[in-house]
């Protein structure tokens, strides 16, 4: 039995972590901290957990040693206190973007400032098991993964690994929970409801994670659009290929790549309304669904891939 604690547990990510940990047979949730909710029962912030735990939020200064420590803080917070957190646990998992990028220059470019804990970057393993399972088995420090990056990486990885990609145009539609639990003008219901808003047509930070994972042997055009749903991400990738493989060969490629991956589902239906991945079907799960159609005039493929954000990425 492992003891676990969550730092920053009042938000959406912290609540999802707690839900998963409470029902894990080999984990005992020892502590969950929150500066704003200190002293209150956890279910007051996460009413879906009512009756599942009598834990109260602790003040962050009261954090105790544990086996596994999860950090669910805003971007930038983990790097500022990483020495303290690492001293309190055997293994640490940070869900923020602080330790996702291994290249300090890439971090500076995409986040507009030098990394505050450069010596810690090489210690972290990027937490996408479909790409780094062996390294994750013994990793002491694990970084969370970006939601938009994850849905894109999983959808494109077999093509990238096979060297088939020449260029890709990916557009990701995302739900409102991507912005976190803190209210803002863009998340305000009268502003968000009924709206389809181009959030980042260029320059989204998750593009750096995609390039880190898949390499830069192909041109990537990446955009993110906010739509009226709460959870989930739907990526549509128009892939222009270096050669023209048969559709059956593409299916073989993806089946071979993901045959042993329990959370990847290949969608191949010819009838009904669910012929392609739909994030609505994945809420509360760890699945990523992938489907595609060949586009013969373009020597390309249109891939559709979806996931449930908050569990597959943040």
User: Which is higher by pLDDT, 33 or 308?
Assistant: 33
- Asked which of 24-33, 73-82, 303-312 is least confident by mean pLDDT, the reply is 303-312
Q: Taking Cα atoms as reference points, which of 85, 84, 126, 73 lies closest to residue 103?
A: 126
Alpha-carbon Rg for the chain in angstroms: 20
- Which domains does the chain possess? 2-143 (3.40.50.720), 147-307 (3.30.360.10)
Quick check: 310 pLDDT over 60?
no
Pairing between β-strand 288-295 and β-strand 264-266 as defined by DSSP bridges = parallel
Q: What percent of the chain lies above the pLDDT cut of 70?
A: 92
Residue 81 confidence (pLDDT) above 60 = yes
Q: Which tokens hold the place of 65?
A: 């040693």
Mean pLDDT of 55-59: 97
Positions marked active-site: 147
Q: Which pLDDT tens digit goes with each residue over 1-19?
A: 999 999 999 999 999 999 9
Run of H or E residues at 109:
helix 104-111
Q: Record the tokens describing residue 9, joined without a space.
A: 């547990």
**Which pLDDT tens digit goes with each residue over 275-300?**
999 999 998 899 999 999 988 766 67
* pLDDT at residue 70 greater than cutoff 90: yes
Average pLDDT over residues 198-223: 94
**pLDDT tens-place string over residues 148-190:** 999 999 999 999 999 999 999 999 998 876 666 676 666 667 7
């Amino acid at each position: 039995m492992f003891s676990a604690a969550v730092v920053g547990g009042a938000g959406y990510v912290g609540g999802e972590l707690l839900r998963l940990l409470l029902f894990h047979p080999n984990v005992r949730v020892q502590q969950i901290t929150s500066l704003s909710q200190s002293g209150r029962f956890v279910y007051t912030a996460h009413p879906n957990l009512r009756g599942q735990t009598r834990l109260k939020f602790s003040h962050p200064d009261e954090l105790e040693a544990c086996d596994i420590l999860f950090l669910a803080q805003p971007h930038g917070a983990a790097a500022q206190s990483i020495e303290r957190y690492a001293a309190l646990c055997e293994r640490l998992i940070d869900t923020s973007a602080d330790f996702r990028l291994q290249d300090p220059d890439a971090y500076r470019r995409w986040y507009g400032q030098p990394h505050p804990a450069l010596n810690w970057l090489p210690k972290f393993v990027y937490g996408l098991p479909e790409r780094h399972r062996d390294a994750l088995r013994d990793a002491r420090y694990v970084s969370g993964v970006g939601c938009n990056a994850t849905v894109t990486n999983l959808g494109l990885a077999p093509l990238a690994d096979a060297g088939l990609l020449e260029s890709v145009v990916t557009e990701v539609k995302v739900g409102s929970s991507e912005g976190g639990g803190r209210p803002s003008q863009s998340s305000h219901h009268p502003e968000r409801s009924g709206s389809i808003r181009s959030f980042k047509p260029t320059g989204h930070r998750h593009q750096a994670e995609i390039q880190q994972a898949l390499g830069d042997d192909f041109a990537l055009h990446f955009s993110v659009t906010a739509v009226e749903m709460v959870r989930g991400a739907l990526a549509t990738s128009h892939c222009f290929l270096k050669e023209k493989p048969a559709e059956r060969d593409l299916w073989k490629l993806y089946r071979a790549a993901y045959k042993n991956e329990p959370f990847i589902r290949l969608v191949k239906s010819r009838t009904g309304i669910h012929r392609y991945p739909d994030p609505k079907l994945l809420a509360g799960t760890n699945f990523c669904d992938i489907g595609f159609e060949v586009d013969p005039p373009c020597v390309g493929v249109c891939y559709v891939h979806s996931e449930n954000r908050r569990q597959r990425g943040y």
